[in-house]
Homo-oligomer: A and B are copies of this chain.
Amino acid sequence: MPESPRNGADALISTLVANAVTACFANPGTSEMQFVAALDREPAMRPVLCQFEGVATGAADGYGRMSDTPACTLLHLGPGYGNGLANLHNARRAFTPIVNVIGDHATYHRQYDAPLNSDIPAIVAPNSLWVKSADSPDSVAGLTAEAVAASYGPPGGPVSLILPADSAWLETKDQPVIAQKPVRPAPSGAAIEAAARAIKAAKNPVVLIGAQACLSGGLAQAARLQAAGVTVYSDTFISRTSRGAGVFAPKRMQYFGEMALAELESVDLMVFVGTTLPVAFFAYPNRPSVLVPEGCQTMSAVARSEDAVAGLAALADALGAPKDGPVQPLKLPDAMPTGKLNAYTAGASIARHMPEGAVICDDAVTSGAGVAAAAATARPHEVLALTGGAIGAGLPLAIGAAVACPDRKVLSLNGDGAAMYTIQSLWTMARENLDVTTVVFANYTYRILNVEMQRTGAGDAGPSARKLLELGDPKIDFVALATGMGVPAVRCETAEAFDAAIAAAMTGRGPMFIEAVI
């Protein structure tokens, strides 16, 4: 690091590094060249090139979920951000701290509305906790620190720092500025006490946990509630959660609203910890939006911005819960699955071979349940889910998780339709030699939409509708795509073949790709 930053780009990068932001997922353009050049003056920042910005933002999401520290992205004006928007939507729903650095035209050039000009603040606002433009080189260091701090929330999320080209290339004497990392406030004692009283008075109370409450520390406290007779549910899609042997497994809110409500029918109290009112993912004709049974009381004990671990502990104490609660046993499938390959046999193989500490990035859509079933008693691992419903997160999340946790095995599980959204990720996995095993479940259809078509009352798909739902004409050769981008790949059509492939991938190191034909 130079003694004093030479220009605005140096001020930016040195401030990021001084605040422990040391990974940059990038696809730069001309307006970002000073940032790129400044990287050579700050070797503590690791640049990771992605051949599409949706890969960069999804990787930053995966990194932030695993490290609790933001990565930065480097994006090229409004269109570059646009390419990354969908995975920033997912990151916003995961409360992941991310510092987006969005290059812009030089301040004096904006007025001419050159071809790449657009209203960047408007485009970024819906998925940014904080948006500012550093319109002079001397504003860069301070705003960068502000951006880092803002990304932590709590709860956290993506922020957007716009960097005009001249603010990057002009000189500044500014030194790195250190951001204050905010501390999650303790939950209100009154809210905890009220929740404890209501739980004691209820016939069939449940506690619904989400976000930070689903990390290992929160689950350990939630298990105590379960031991005290309170049923614990988790949100359907969680940013990051622990799973497997030795871990408490709360029930999961079902995806389809009517199933969730049927299961909750007799519940008379729902207490929220680190989450809010459960709602249906989509609306359907004559089906409920809010997933709370009629007559059931709801109350918040711990807000998303508060310390959910402390809140759960206090709630458990107030209920006189034991010090420990139930955890999952280690129960691996007895034998290698055989015969036809499907999501359940694949899940059994993953459970058999997945090492302790593995990180699953789950964008497997309809194939996810099969893996979840077997993994529930596998060696302890963590799962990053698709929080915002924008498919195409599974591959980029894995890049970020692998950069954040180079000593842990990362599994990326994807539907074939989802994988195609950010298939360019495979190249970055190869380039960075990341220890990621990617599985694509190839069923050659948007399976979920075939289900949803019925549920929305739209009826059966005719020839035109099928043209928008079916992916099998032509069938994509995912092995060719993976090897074409430098990732060793194998196609599996039987349970035995998949078991052998996953066994090899779990014991080996480096990027590996498995096409699972199901």
A40 contacts across to B, CB distance below 8 A: 461-465
Q: How far is the CB of A68 from chain B (nearest CB, A)?
A: 22
A116 within 8 A of B: yes
Q: How far is the CB of A486 from chain B (nearest CB, A)?
A: 3
| Cβ A82 vs Cβ B78 within 8 A | no
| Cβ B486 vs Cβ A474 within 8 A | yes
A113 contacts across to B, CB distance below 8 A: 279
Q: How many residues from A make CB contacts under 8 Å with B?
A: 105
Give 1 or 0 for each of A451-462: 1 = CB within 8 Å of chain B CB.
011011111011
A123 contacts across to B, CB distance below 8 A: 85, 123, 126
A165 to B80, CA, bound (A): 29
A484 to B489, CA, bound (A): 13
A431 within 8 A of B: yes
A422 to B423, CA, bound (A): 10
| Cβ B108 vs Cβ A283 within 8 A | yes
| Cβ B43 vs Cβ A109 within 8 A | no
| Cβ B109 vs Cβ A289 within 8 A | yes
Q: How far is the CB of A259 from chain B (nearest CB, A)?
A: 16
Given contacts A123-B126, A473-B431, A484-B481, contact A114 B281 (CB under 8 A): yes
Q: How many copies of this chain?
A: 2
A391 to B93, CA, bound (A): 28
Given contacts A30-B456, A82-B82, A449-B29, contact A476 B486 (CB under 8 A): yes
Most chain B Cβ neighbours within 10 Å, of A237, A465, A473:
A465
| Cβ B464 vs Cβ A52 within 8 A | no
| Cβ B420 vs Cβ A424 within 8 A | yes
A115 contacts across to B, CB distance below 8 A: 93, 237, 281, 387-389
Can you offer 6 A-B residue contacts whose CB atoms are under 8 A? A31-B282, A79-B90, A112-B289, A123-B123, A430-B474, A480-B484
B-binding residues in A (CB < 8 A): 26-31, 33-34, 36-37, 39-40, 42-43, 45, 47-49, 51-52, 54, 74, 78-80, 82-83, 85-86, 89-90, 93, 105-106, 108-109, 112-116, 118-119, 122-123, 125-127, 165-166, 169, 237, 277, 279-283, 285, 289-290, 387-390, 392, 417, 420-421, 423-424, 427, 430-431, 448-449, 452-453, 455-459, 461-465, 467-469, 471, 473-481, 483-486
